[in-house]
Amino acid sequence: MKKYLVIAPVGENIENLYVGLREFPSERIILLTPEKHLTKARSVAQDLERFKIKAKIEEITGHSWEGIFQKIAEIKDIEKDHEIIINTSTGDSITQCAGTSAAFVNGLKAIAISGNDIMLLPVMKFSYYKLLTDKKMMLLKILASEKCCGSLEELSKESGMSLPLISYHINGNLKSEGLKDLGLVETEENKGRVQVRLTLLGKMLVKGYIPTD
């Protein structure tokens, strides 16, 4: 029988881990847990040991979205020779969304559970990098620095690009999506100036938590 490496966020619906194991058995499980659920994660790990299933606890710090993306990216890189499946339904609503999105951008299998019903989500490989030019990536990296940027004018000066070109890369046009359309930056008008900053997704992409291939 085929066995998977299962990744499961720990939260209020951790009982769904056992439901998933009925159809997708595993010899090894990685539990992604925030500090507040460490005691629960340790209890689950002990339960799994009784069934001779190895469990490893990976603590998530900071923002749960970023933490889950980071850990899944790291696990995929380390466990490249194993078939990974993410149980998206073991945590809460936030980790379910984050786990599903991380599976999507990494091209990994994922399952969702409702009651005793298990649904295998479609594997969808998507890379932002195929949509990003070198100049768009440069702008994202500049925005990730602590010094930049209070306005489009500052971003223009820092990047060496003209304001119309900056506007094009940020807002896009009918033929090309801009960084705002891709959900990587957000803008806000303040005292007549347009401020631009990275979204959480943009920060994760620059940090490398979203795959490049």
Looking at the chain, which residues constitute the CATH 3.40.50.10770 domain(s)? 4-121
Mean pLDDT of the chain: 89
CATH 3.20.190.10 fits 4-121, yes or no: no
Q: What is the identity of the amino acid at 204?
A: M
207 phi-psi bin (left φ>0, alpha ψ -120 to 50, beta other): alpha
Helix count (H) and strand count (E) of the chain?
Answer: 8, 8
What are the helix (H) ranges across 51-118?
A: 64-78, 93-106
Residues of the chain with CATH 1.10.10.10: 128-207
Look at 128 and 141; give whichever has higher pLDDT. Answer: 141
Correct CATH for 128-207 of 1.10.490.10, 1.10.287.3510, 1.10.10.10, 3.40.50.1000: 1.10.10.10
Beta carbons of 91 and 58 less than 8 angstroms apart: no
> 61 falls in which pLDDT band (50, 70, 90)?
confident
Q: Taking 60 as the threshold, does the pLDDT of residue 212 lie above it?
A: no
Ranking 46-50, 158-162, 167-171, 191-195 by mean pLDDT, the lowest is: 191-195
Amino acid at site 29: I
